Amino acid sequence: MKCLSIGALLLLGSVMTAGAQDINCDYPTTQVEMTGCAALDFEAADASLNTAYRQAVTAAKEMDGYVPGLEPTHEEMLRDAQRAWIPFRDAACAAESNIARGGTLQNQLFFMCLTRLTEQRTDDLWFFTEGMTGG
């Protein structure tokens, strides 16, 4: 998350501090609410991604046990892929949200993109895990 814009980080922090009870995500009517809800959606997607990643690492370690001495290991390859994916996601979303550069919609678009790409990556990690475990 270190590649997020300063404004997006500040907004995410203020949403977390304010708490979900202060934001009406059922029927958001203001740009602040819409952006806050988009930030909360991203927070949930990021939590799911972290769960999927932990499961994928566990599966990769298990697979590495079946093929000793493999270099690079499945775990290393997964870790390197994830480390490369995060800055890609952040840069892609910065570019996508740039259509509203300087406007009040920019951060909302940024969080919506982060959520979408994070959910896609989560699906990819679950697929990876199933492939590794044969499930």
**Within 10 Å of residue 80's Cβ, how many Cβ atoms?**
11
Q: Which residue has the tokens 């492939």?
A: 131
Q: Is residue 1 assigned to a domain?
A: no
- Full-prediction pTM beyond 0.75? yes
Among 38-42, 64-68, 91-95, the least confident range:
64-68
Contact 113, 97 (CB under 8 A): yes
Determine the pLDDT at residue 3.
47
CATH classification of the domain holding 70: 1.20.1270.180
Asked whether residue 78 is domain-assigned, the answer is yes
What's the pLDDT tens digit per position in 75-90?
999 999 999 999 999 9
Query: Number of folded domains in the chain?
Result: 1
Q: Residue 5: how many CB atoms within 10 A of its CB?
A: 15
Q: Does residue 13 sit within a domain?
A: yes
pLDDT tens-digit series, residues 5-20: 545 555 555 555 455 4
Domain containing 116 equals 6-133
Q: Could you tell me how far CA 98 lies from the centroid of its own chain? A: 19
| pLDDT value of residue 65 | 87
Average pLDDT over residues 61-80: 91
Q: What is the DSSP letter of 69?
A: T
- The CA-based angle 110-18-99, given to 5 degrees, is 15
pLDDT of residue 132: 72
Residue located via tokens 């979900």:
20
Helices (H), 1-135: 6-18, 31-66, 74-97, 106-133
